[in-house]
Structure 1
Amino acid sequence: MKILLVEDEELLSNAIAKGLKRLGFAVDQAYDGEAALYSYEVNAYDLIILDLNLPIIDGIEVLRQIRESDFEMKILILSARSDTNDRVLGLNEGANDYLIKPFDFEELVARIHNLIRRTFSQTPSVLSIGGVTIDVLAKAVTLDKSPLPLTNKEYSILEYLMLNQGRVIPQSELIEHVWDSEADLFSNALKFQLHSLKKKLGEADIICNVRGQGYTIKGDHVNE
């Protein structure tokens, strides 16, 4: 999953980004409202973490501009503005959640998971396909009921494909949602990670390369 983190305090932004990346999220960082809107326009994100006290363009105005045309994007406000009126304003302008600074990182992660779960509201948190089971909330994978250790990138690729089963995912889309915006779309990183992932899956050959189109998950699936 790919997150846009909009936070003008660079040290805090870097700390949050580091923690999220360690959990397997791809994270882009913006330090002012103008940069946030630019990143939003040119990249695909699953969720935005938005501070309100931003230079150039205020966070509330960023929220308003996004909501003018996009009602699906999940937006979590992360702000030191703790007054009830500020929280009501943020939620009324279209934020999906509001977390006050200072905050506990584990609570932030829990709220991110909650919003992502709403995004895939028709998809159970545990999916099983061809002997491969993935727990989206725990970010854990088993193969024939035995734990399957994956790298963060391998897990993210498998998770995105399984959540989008039944659809062929273009290579560019897969890269957009698994890597940050600094990724080279023409590098071999995706092929390397896919090769490693398929090797670990072994006989559970559920990832199919559709020549000229992208990748998809094949096989019978069971939702739990």
Structure 2
Amino acid sequence: MRLLIVEDEERLGPLLARGLRREGCAVDLTQDGTTGLAFARIHTYDLVVLDRDLPGLHGDVLCSELQQLDPIPRILMLTASGTVDDRVEGLGLGADDYLAKPFAFRELIARIRALTRRPLQVTPTLLVRGDLTLDQARRTVTRGGRVVQLRPRELAVLEELLRADGAPLSAEQLLARAWDANADPFSNPVRQTVQRLRKALGEPSPIQTIPGVGYVVP
């Protein structure tokens, strides 16, 4: 899952980014609305965590601009103003959810998970291919009834492969979906992660390589 955080508070933004990365998300962080819009136009995000009061480009304007993208990302709006009128106005701008500051990090995670379980194309909570099952809600993987322990990045790559429903994904597609903008493509992070993932899942590997195309779970 790839997220964009647009938050100008110097301590809160990096704190949210670190916490979400520990949850297995690929996270890009910007601190003003203008840069946030530039990132959103370059990359495809599952969800944008958007502070309402932003320098450069106000969060309300950025929220409206995000509605013009294809695909339109989910938007979770953050604000120090938590009145009913503020919430109604934020949702009216196109936000999918609204969270007033201060908030508990675990509530933020729960809201993000709830929103991304309801994408524009509805996907089931359980992703199943053969004897391999990934529970998107619980963030757990089993194969043949055996629980498989995965690192967050390995889980993110497997989730993207299973969501593809038998279609191959290139290394570039996986890099764009499971890593943030700071990833070094020349270090072959996708190949290294797939190797670790195959080892964790065991033989025979459910992940096949299609030369010149990418990876697939058929």
Instruction: Report the TM-score, using the length of structure 2 for normalisation.
Output: 0.95
Q: Which residue of 1 aligns with 2:212?
A: 212
Q: Which runs of 5+ in 1 are unaligned?
A: 219-224
Shift of 1:62: 0.4
Percent of aligned pairs with the same residue?
Answer: 39
In the aligned structure 2, how far is the partner of 1:211 from the partner of 1:146?
30
Uncovered stretches (5+) of structure 2, i.e. residues with no partner: none
Indicate conservation of the 8 Å contact 1:153/1:193, yes or no: yes
What is the DSSP-based 3-state SS (H/G/I as helix, E as strand, rest coil) of the residue aligned with 2:11?
Answer: helix
Q: 1:127 maps to what in 2?
A: 127
What are the residue-to-residue correspondences of 1:100-139 with 2, within 5 Å? 100-119=100-119, 122-139=122-139
Over aligned residues, Cα RMSD in angstroms? Answer: 1.5
Asked if 1 retains the 8 angstrom alpha-carbon contact of 2:126 and 2:133, the reply is yes
When the two structures are aligned, how many residues end up with a matched partner? Answer: 218
Is 2:18 the counterpart of 1:18? Answer: yes
> 1: CA distance between counterparts of 2:136 and 2:101?
27
1:186 alignment partner AA: F
Give the secondary structure class of the aligned counterpart of 1:119: coil
Displacement of 1:201 in angstroms is 1.5
Residues 56-65 or 185-194, more deviating: 185-194
- Whether contact under 8 Å (1:47, 1:73) holds in the other structure is yes
Residue 4 (structure 1) shift:
0.1
1:187 is displaced (CA, Å) by: 2.1
1:124-149 alpha-carbon deviations (Å, 9 max, x no partner):
21122222111111111112212111
Higher relative contact order (CA 8 A, sep 6+): 1
Q: Deviation of residue 183 (structure 1)?
A: 0.8
CA deviations 1:71-119 (Å, max 9, x no partner) are: 6310110111212222112111111111111111111111101111001
The alpha-carbon deviation at position 120 of structure 1 amounts to: 6.6
SS at the partner of 1:186? helix
Q: Does the CA-based 8 Å contact 1:131-1:204 persist in structure 2? A: no
Q: TM-score, normalised by structure 1?
A: 0.92
